Structure 1
Amino acid sequence: MTDLDFGVFTMPEHYPWENWNLSYDRDIEEAVLAEDLGFDEYYIGEHHTGGYENVPVPEYMLAKMSAVTDRIKLAPGTVNLPYHDPFLVAERLAFLDQLTDGRLMYGYGGGGLPSDLEMFGVGEEKREMMDEAIDIIQTYTEAEEPTSYDGEFWQYEDRIIQVPPYQEKPDEVIAGLTTLNSYEQAGREGMYSLSVYFTPLEAPDNPAAPDLGDHGDALERGAKAGGRDPQEARENWRIVREVYVSDSKEQALEDIRSGVEKSYGYLIDLGLGALMKRDETQPDEDLTLEWMAENIPWIIGSPEDCIRQIKALQEETGGFGGLIINSRDWVTTEQWERSLELFAREVMPAFKSNLGPRDWSKENVGYASPSPTEDTFAIEPDSPETPADDD
């Protein structure tokens, strides 16, 4: 695999008892910080109900973020297509691509929040609606003259998008939740793919929860079916994880415990706990902080812990191209920003060859450990180099 890309994903999840107007400013500031720290991508989700996830139109947030950033790629994570007229989505995304000077990644999803799906009256036809909507978006972002479309869910006559995308071929990102169709499509069509933060590494006894291994296999199947390179499909694969960097794993667990209980209590109450389990008979009570940190798994602890965990995830999944940090309100802003900074300073260079010295130089540095232990410089009194005093 090539070097990893890194990004930040925010649903966003902000507590319903907090000042939501202030939370939007914090999200904007986080995108600026992510760019300053060298992250490659920033995603923001779309939700309409539930009381925690408070951005119904991610494109508005991305437009404001684009005005205060210069380099970082921006993406809705995702536009939930069954809720929208896809011609208007195509027009909005093309216009936003112009406003971002080509930094936009088109993010597609079918919607995952049960209360959102219920409010919009979307049922088992969700997948078919998303597929048709993607086809419509692709059709009208590419069409150079008035074009008609006769689909199962949407029909248009002689329509054209007046303002074309800034990019000749915008990057497209597709996310899946309960099936593998999105990952096969991503591999087949050369799209980026996004695995959500609670997708388990392995779920051998839970048919309702496709795991990361299943996602990787589906990407390769799709790529082969589309005559594409399976390795490229993996390099376009983004895996979202809970990430928190502190002085130690014990300190990290202590810092985030209270926030995790609130966040995952909400998710489990929504019924999403079923998608996190290795075994479908596993009770919700087993989904503790410690269990999830080890079994989803999460990337938490010291920088060295995080490096080891990411390398293990690369090996166990067969390889992927991007690790995306799930943004959380579990700790204070100062603690969260410190975590992001530690990640950028001490974790990223292990996976981006341009962020540190060449390997030869590293190997020839006399002392290169980023975290010396207390006995690193200890001198044995009886060693030949340092003879003990006679008196």
Structure 2
Amino acid sequence: MRVGVFLVAAGFPGRDPGRVLADTVELVVAAEEAGFDDAWVAEHHFMTYGVCPSATTLAAVAIGRTSRIGLGTAVSVLSTWHPVALAEQAAMLHHLSGGRFTLGVGRGGPWMDLEVFGTGLERFERGFGESLDVLVRALSGGRVAAEGEFFRFREVDLVPAATLRPVVACTSEATLELAARRGLPMLLGMHVDDREKAAAVAAYDALRPGPGAHVAAYDALRPGSGAHVAAAVGHVADSTRQAVRELKEAMPRWLEPGLAGYVPVDGRRRPARDVPAYVDFLTRVHPVGSADRCAEAVLATAEATGVRRIILMVEGIGDHRRAVDNVRRLGAEVLPRVRTALPPN
């Protein structure tokens, strides 16, 4: 069992984005001191939901401030990156961290990022599989070339070379199938509950190539469910009632303006989110409550899904000092309960 923190660099109203980024690094440091195994950071563009536009850059800063904790991206948006450029970044972080870095990638959405960065809606809608293939070839420790619709270039050496297995955010059946066919582990978001996460793992296992199958560039990469990563909200207080009340008061101030930052690139209607209902869902199904309640929820996710890597979004309170306290209390009061039941790998 590995338990980490998940940091969105949440832009609560009135908070300076530069200060939020510095505080996010401080939360990584606090997580290492509190005994967490990993810290994963998110990438967003042109919005206050998350004010970190480069998860790899923030991870690099955090690597320099820490010595033990694993760092990951949850996620780098592959639809707006050239996969070889992202592979170079990941390889650098792998070497500079002494092997502590994990690259998480996602398809993203049909947002304005695609227009601004020039990759276009087509890369998002039908180019993700090709992007993923080029990325994994580039992270296979050798040379990489491409002869596809979106990428076409002669063979080159990746310098520095590294052998890494990306984790893929799976929020749709199509992306889940791409990950499963390639044997790449999934990142399952906090917007789904344990039942939906377990269904995703079952669907993945049904699609995954068998032991005798040949999957070019992906051999020996096929994970069990323990290699997947599950995200959840994590917030501890003296009582479950207090923890729920705190998040229900704080999170809508962040989510209402933050989620409005998702602007479609082609004028399509953006699905509306009932923010109070969403916060109610998050506080009901995730580790939000007393220390006992938080530990029980983490263990319930592990039991229901088989996933042994859990990351907790710890910024929902909107106050940096309280978020640091949340990390410390989760480390002191919740992690020991979890590890007694499921020791770390």
Tell me which interval the TM-score lies in, with the shorter structure as reference length. Answer: 0.7 to 0.9
Select 1:175's aligned residue among 155, 164, 169. Answer: 169
CA distance in 2, matches of 1:124, 1:158: 24
CA distance in 2, matches of 1:131, 1:218: 18
List per-residue Cα deviations over 1:5-33 (Å, max 9, x = no partner). 10111122223531222222111111111
Residue 218 in structure 1 maps to residue 203 in structure 2 = yes
CA distance in 1, matches of 2:178, 2:212: 12
Matched with 1:149 is 146
Q: Do the aligned partners of 1:219 and 1:234 also contact (CA within 8 Å) in 2? A: no
| Amino acid of the structure 1 residue aligned with 2:189 | V
List per-residue Cα deviations over 1:192-234 (Å, max 9, x = no partner). 32111112445xxxxxxxx3233121222234546699x9521
Aligned positions of 1:260-339 closer than 5 A: 260-266=251-257, 269=260, 284=274, 287=277, 289-294=279-284, 297-315=285-303, 317-339=304-326
Select 1:196's aligned residue among 189, 194, 198. Answer: 189
| Amino acid of the structure 2 residue aligned with 1:195 | L
Matched with 1:341 is 328
Q: Do the aligned partners of 1:186 and 1:233 also contact (CA within 8 Å) in 2? A: no
Residue 245 in structure 1 maps to residue 236 in structure 2 = yes
Q: In 2 relative to 1, CA 227–216 (structure 1 residues): closer, same or farther, beyond 3 Å?
A: farther
Q: In 2 relative to 1, CA 84–9 (structure 1 residues): closer, same or farther, beyond 3 Å?
A: same
Matched with 1:134 is 132
Specify the SS of the correspondent of 1:235.
Answer: helix
List per-residue Cα deviations over 1:349-383 (Å, max 9, x = no partner). 22224999xxxxxxxxxxxxxxxxxxxxxxxxxxx
Flag the structure with larger Rg. Answer: 1
| Amino acid of the structure 1 residue aligned with 2:328 | E
Q: Do the aligned partners of 2:48 and 2:258 also contact (CA within 8 Å) in 1? A: no
Q: Do the aligned partners of 1:268 and 1:284 also contact (CA within 8 Å) in 2? A: no
Q: In 2 relative to 1, CA 101–6 (structure 1 residues): closer, same or farther, beyond 3 Å?
A: same
Displacement of 1:76 in angstroms is: 1.6
Q: Do the aligned partners of 1:106 and 1:171 also contact (CA within 8 Å) in 2? A: yes
Give the TM-score of the pair, scaled to structure 2.
0.83
Q: In 2 relative to 1, CA 200–332 (structure 1 residues): closer, same or farther, beyond 3 Å?
A: same
| Amino acid of the structure 2 residue aligned with 1:240 | A
List per-residue Cα deviations over 1:306-351 (Å, max 9, x = no partner). 1222333334x33211111113152433322222222222222222
Q: In 2 relative to 1, CA 148–183 (structure 1 residues): closer, same or farther, beyond 3 Å?
A: closer
CA distance in 2, matches of 1:331, 1:140: 39
Specify the SS of the correspondent of 2:203.
Answer: helix
Q: In 2 relative to 1, CA 267–61 (structure 1 residues): closer, same or farther, beyond 3 Å?
A: closer
Matched with 1:7 is 4
Aligned pairs, number: 328
List per-residue Cα deviations over 1:55-76 (Å, max 9, x = no partner). 1111111111111111111112
Displacement of 1:138 in angstroms is: 2.1
Displacement of 1:117 in angstroms is: 4.2
Give the TM-score of the pair, scaled to structure 1.
0.74
Displacement of 1:187 in angstroms is: 4.3
Percent identical among aligned pairs is 21
Specify the SS of the correspondent of 2:71.
Answer: strand
CA distance in 1, matches of 2:320, 2:91: 34
Q: Do the aligned partners of 2:104 and 2:167 also contact (CA within 8 Å) in 1? A: yes
Displacement of 1:80 in angstroms is: 0.9
CA distance in 1, matches of 2:192, 2:120: 23
CA distance in 2, matches of 1:84, 1:154: 12
Q: In 2 relative to 1, CA 223–301 (structure 1 residues): closer, same or farther, beyond 3 Å?
A: same
Q: In 2 relative to 1, CA 289–23 (structure 1 residues): closer, same or farther, beyond 3 Å?
A: closer
Q: In 2 relative to 1, CA 20–50 (structure 1 residues): closer, same or farther, beyond 3 Å?
A: closer
Residue 92 in structure 1 maps to residue 89 in structure 2 = yes
| Amino acid of the structure 1 residue aligned with 2:50 | E
Matched with 1:379 is none
Gaps of 5+ in 1: 203-210, 273-280, 357-391
My pick for the range that moved more, 119-128 or 84-93, is: 119-128
Specify the SS of the correspondent of 1:323.
Answer: strand
CA distance in 2, matches of 1:64, 1:8: 16
Gaps of 5+ in 2: 214-219, 264-270
Specify the SS of the correspondent of 1:163.
Answer: coil
